[in-house]
Structure 1
């Protein structure tokens, strides 16, 4: 059942009003002493947690994932009209969702969901009971084999499954012209005959079979772009649509580096060599550099860094705040940045937004 509808019917409409006003009335936050980000502020606070926000090409819409109080303990997908402040849920409200995106020029949203899993509701109940028990589990991402990639309209209607394949299909984004979708999947572990070594590896770590794929926007002509036994994921297109940036994990899963390649999978180029967990890369609209998150400063201290698109310069640190700063994206005009941070009193992830200093980025990367 739609969670926003539940809130309104249960007398919790203030949640909606507060969320709409969040961008203009929330407390200011320090983004670090480096001066890359100024006038930073928290733009979400009514959710249990929120993050991974992305803009439509015209800058008028923001899509993001959030967990809110209610009968579903997992993330759902929300779309915000930045002019009016109106927020609406576009995912079904059942199961788990992740990795949303807005079509560049049409009223469509892309996201991954498990709502077609026959056990989706049972898993929701089990998660709620687990949390009520007070038992805490170590964080681990769920590579649920029922994740499929869906598109829907801005009202959350006319939902269409684009992948319909067993395995983890997620981390999808449209190309700038809306004709292609890049995504991550471990479908080959379910569809292909694996070697005994690969089978053992997959049973131990289901992310080991995740590769980058590309397909037409209607879900046809699927092509695998990476061929490793380590986790290749989080693909995004370059502003000109000619390349894809992603992160590749080491085989032991303890490190990750930033890579780019042509959209046909050729010319795979490693940009970072930090020997840490570097991930969540995203192009600046100028196509001159990429921003990403890494824990160079400490295992649990993720900070934002930038690197030139050829990887010829040393990465430059952007944020200086204990805890998690990650999943950064630029507004389409390149003048602002939105990212996810736990620099909050309860240390749970929320969306933050600030003014971006493009000239300082170019200067520090030696690109001026």
Structure 2
């Protein structure tokens, strides 16, 4: 689900022109207005420096998300919000980097990735603080830190358990709807297996190139690799019935990505989008009938949300129309609301936005009624 800003700088003028042409074709094919899909839109976060990736527990009483808050740590930490009383608590250790939280559907557990066990975690925090104080400008980019492991903790953040404990980037994890499985992304084989000369050179140039989708039992056992490419496969989420996984696959040059789905054993891999742009961050609607995702088809820095049917047989439909970044969408478990990350703020920092979702209009626009 990461490195969208890094990818911005890699997209050249020809891709931009291609995007404008594709956008024109979309506008002529589909006349649905973005305002038809999301109403009562509001910003959920504002006190934090930046916020992103909010996910709900099945009963809609809790929401986990990542935020940059504390001055002593310039990196994201994981927070849990009680949606009944509005109280927020930090559940990650507070040291190092964190990302990709998820709330267990049945138990009081939070899933996230962290580098807090990195011996140099505090030194890296200090270095980043000093860099910012110096005024050095740097585009936001994900670094695929090899010390990222996947952890679970209780709702107090007091019982933290390492589920992967393997050198390499282990992140982007989510529990299955029954809480028995975890899908995640990892480049661990670059650290644990003998690579070919071609793969070793590719990994040295781009650590994300060997990231694949994996699945494991909820206790970290029985790890299986599901994708077999030398491009970045990441951001896996389970379908509402737990039978399939949706994810995004980057192209070899890292400039484009498309949405894919597969069975949870890795079989029947299907390409859902064919936009030839940067399409990523897919998420199923609870109905299981369509997928929402983000794409920059309207300009390399203008990411918008689209929906597409689960078989990829219909033309994707645009559901946001604000300049800037709109991505990382997630439906509430009842399917009635949408929460996503956007930089449509005066500071141009990522924050959470929320709105009422028109499911019937979505079905109609995709001819799924």
Q: TM-score, normalised by structure 1?
A: 0.91
Structure 2 SS opposite 1:44? coil
Q: Deviations over 1:159-205 (max 9, x none)?
A: 00000000000000000000000000000000111010100000000
Q: Deviations over 1:104-130 (max 9, x none)?
A: 010000000000000000000000000
The aligned runs of 1:1-368 (5 Å cut-off) are 33-368=34-369
Structure 1 SS opposite 2:361? helix
Structure 1 SS opposite 2:347? coil
Q: Distance in 1 between matches of 2:279 and 2:197?
A: 30
Structure 2 SS opposite 1:112? strand
Structure 2 SS opposite 1:207? helix
Q: Distance in 2 between matches of 1:175 and 1:138?
A: 34
Indicate conservation of the 8 Å contact 2:240/2:287, yes or no.
yes
Q: Distance in 1 between matches of 2:175 and 2:238?
A: 8
Structure 2 SS opposite 1:126? helix
**Structure 1 runs (4+) greater than 2 angstroms displaced:** none
Q: Distance in 1 between matches of 2:363 and 2:142?
A: 34
Indicate conservation of the 8 Å contact 2:260/2:271, yes or no.
yes
- 1:141: Cα distance to partner? 1.0
Q: Distance in 1 between matches of 2:130 and 2:314?
A: 49
| Bigger relative contact order, structure 1 or 2 (CA pairs below 8 A, ≥6 apart) | 2
Structure 1 SS opposite 2:356? strand
Structure 1 SS opposite 2:339? strand
Q: Distance in 1 between matches of 2:149 and 2:34?
A: 41
Q: Distance in 2 between matches of 1:104 and 1:142?
A: 30
Q: Distance in 2 between matches of 1:262 and 1:357?
A: 28
- 1:142: Cα distance to partner? 1.3
Q: Distance in 1 between matches of 2:43 and 2:35?
A: 19
Q: Distance in 2 between matches of 1:165 and 1:33?
A: 43
Structure 1 SS opposite 2:127? helix
Q: Distance in 2 between matches of 1:160 and 1:116?
A: 11
Q: TM-score, normalised by structure 2?
A: 0.91
The alignment covers a number of residue pairs equal to 337
* Alignment correspondent of 1:10: none
Q: Distance in 2 between matches of 1:136 and 1:275?
A: 30
Q: Deviations over 1:39-67 (max 9, x none)?
A: 00001000000010000011110000000
Q: Distance in 1 between matches of 2:194 and 2:74?
A: 36
Structure 2 SS opposite 1:177? coil
Tell me, which stretches of 5 or more residues in structure 2 are unaligned? 1-32
Structure 1 SS opposite 2:241? coil
Q: Distance in 2 between matches of 1:141 and 1:325?
A: 18
Q: Distance in 1 between matches of 2:35 and 2:239?
A: 26
Q: Deviations over 1:265-317 (max 9, x none)?
A: 00000000000000000000000000000000000100000000000001000
Indicate conservation of the 8 Å contact 2:34/2:318, yes or no.
no
Indicate conservation of the 8 Å contact 2:153/2:159, yes or no.
yes
- 1:35: Cα distance to partner? 1.6
Q: Provide the alpha-carbon RMSD of the alignment.
A: 0.7
- 1:263: Cα distance to partner? 0.1
Q: Distance in 1 between matches of 2:65 and 2:141?
A: 20
- 1:140: Cα distance to partner? 1.8
- 1:137: Cα distance to partner? 1.4
- 1:345: Cα distance to partner? 1.0
Q: Distance in 2 between matches of 1:92 and 1:257?
A: 34
